């Protein structure tokens, strides 16, 4: 059974840093591209970042570019999100999501973790 378990969320002051982790199990982690998606309280879903299976290709949403860094450790079956210079608007539940492909540019988020809450407040 595919499992994704996020951790590392919590309360942080504006300008602070936090590192989220996503522990994967039940599949060959090194074969799959991964993403972070967030959801502010009462709001919709926002894609945050993508990393290829090897870690060689990375993309970010404009809203986090230059502040967040996605990475992975395939030996530890883990995905990370280093968040720096945090702002109040970064307050959200952060989900890791495993991508699946159906050819060409066809991809979708087949499996999701339960999410971890990040609150940025003084």
Partner 1 sequence: DIQMTQSPSSLSASVGDRVTITCRASQSISSYLNWYQQKPGKAPKLLIYAASSLQSGVPSRFSGSGSGTDFTLTISSLQPEDFATYYCQQSYSTLGYTFGQGTKLEIK
Q: Which residues bind to partner 1, rule: CB under 8 A?
A: 35, 37, 44-47, 50, 59, 61-62, 95, 100, 102, 104-110, 112-115
Of 16 and 109, which CB lies nearer to partner 1 in the complex structure? 109
Query: Residue 56 CB, nearest distance to partner 1 (Å)?
Result: 13
Alpha-carbon gap, residue 81 to 98, rounded angstroms: 14
- The CB density around residue 17, as the number of other CB atoms within 10 Å, is 12
Query: Residue 35 CB, nearest distance to partner 1 (Å)?
Result: 7
Query: Residue 63 CB, nearest distance to partner 1 (Å)?
Result: 10
Question: Nearest Cα to 78, choosing from 48, 110, 113?
Answer: 113
SS3 75: coil
């Amino acid at each position: 059974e595919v499992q994704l378990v996020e951790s590392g969320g919590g309360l942080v002051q504006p300008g602070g840093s936090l590192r989220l982790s996503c522990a994967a199990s039940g599949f060959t982690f090194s074969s799959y591209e991964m993403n972070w998606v967030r959801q502010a309280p009462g709001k919709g879903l926002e894609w945050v970042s993508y990393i290829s299976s090897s870690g060689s290709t990375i993309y970010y949403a404009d809203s986090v570019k230059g502040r967040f860094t996605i990475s992975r450790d395939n030996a530890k079956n883990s995905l990370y999100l280093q968040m720096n210079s945090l702002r109040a608007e970064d307050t959200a539940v952060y989900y890791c999501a495993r991508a699946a492909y159906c050819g060409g540019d066809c991809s979708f988020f087949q499996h999701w973790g339960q999410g971890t809450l990040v609150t940025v407040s003084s």
